[in-house]
Structure 1
């Protein structure tokens, strides 16, 4: 019975943490940027144009330079991606997305570190990965100290 109550308390704490993240300024900024990006016709045109060409790009990739439209598609995909990435609303959204991801990475590191310094927390962010005291792990040629 005790383990069940403890588990429920942990789940409630996790829900409270999630609620705190959702109510943070960082998450609010992310939601605002997402809304602006999704409701701007010109931005959506650029995104849809890129997505449509991306499907053709994936087909061309299967055949590589032997595909008859290889050069044209490769040039267009770069142009469309650049046009989409330079859109102010897309750029603003990407910054907000990175900020939110950074917050989630920090939380993951704190939770993992609170359990054990040997917990690996995959963040996808080299800054946080180097903060782990476990280093490169068991596959790192014995540098983890467990061997």
Structure 2
């Protein structure tokens, strides 16, 4: 038996075909529709802008942490505004569609990595590296998390 040798041109062509298949998928179409609905929803855009503004304040307060005089107020406000934004129907629908697309892309990347080598490590939050306890990469941090990893 002879091994199949892929040239860089073949790999690029196959990658492009794979990308086209993903773009043609129902998951991608649902993501795109949800994104368009959210982008065209004035109330959702108002909530997103409000969250972004409060998040900027929060980031500024975080420089000083709990020693900043507005730390508790801004921390509470950012959680409240984020919850309000996340509970909006079109934002929640977009987040669900985004998660489904991410799961598809993670699965495709895992399959491609597995073809190259079964020992390739992928970033955390990937079902290919979850153990029975639900943790990622044995120690719960994931190979790409920057922490110590329990993979062997």
TM tier relative to shorter chain: 0.7 to 0.9
Deviations 1:107-141 (A, max 9, x none): 1111111112111122x32422237xxx658x63x
Kindly indicate whether residue 96 of structure 2 is the aligned counterpart of residue 98 of structure 1: no
Task: Indicate the residue corresponding to 1:34 in structure 2.
Answer: 35
| Structure 2, unaligned runs of 5 or more | 1-5, 132-136, 144-148
Deviations 1:51-101 (A, max 9, x none): 001111011111122222222211211110010010111111111001001
Structure 1 residue 23, shift from structure 2 partner: 0.8
Task: Indicate the residue corresponding to 1:44 in structure 2.
Answer: 45
Q: TM-score, normalised by structure 1?
A: 0.83
Mark the structure with the bigger radius of gyration: 1
Q: Alignment RMSD, CA only?
A: 2.1
Task: Indicate the residue corresponding to 2:26 in structure 1.
Answer: 25
Say how many residue pairs are matched: 134
| Structure 1, unaligned runs of 5 or more | none
Q: TM-score, normalised by structure 2?
A: 0.80
CA distance in 2 between counterparts of 1:98 and 1:128 reads: 16
CA distance in 2 between counterparts of 1:87 and 1:63 reads: 31
The runs of 4+ residues in structure 1 deviating greater than 3 Å are none
Asked whether the equivalents of residues 105 and 128 of structure 1 are also in contact (C-alpha less than 8 Å), the reply is no
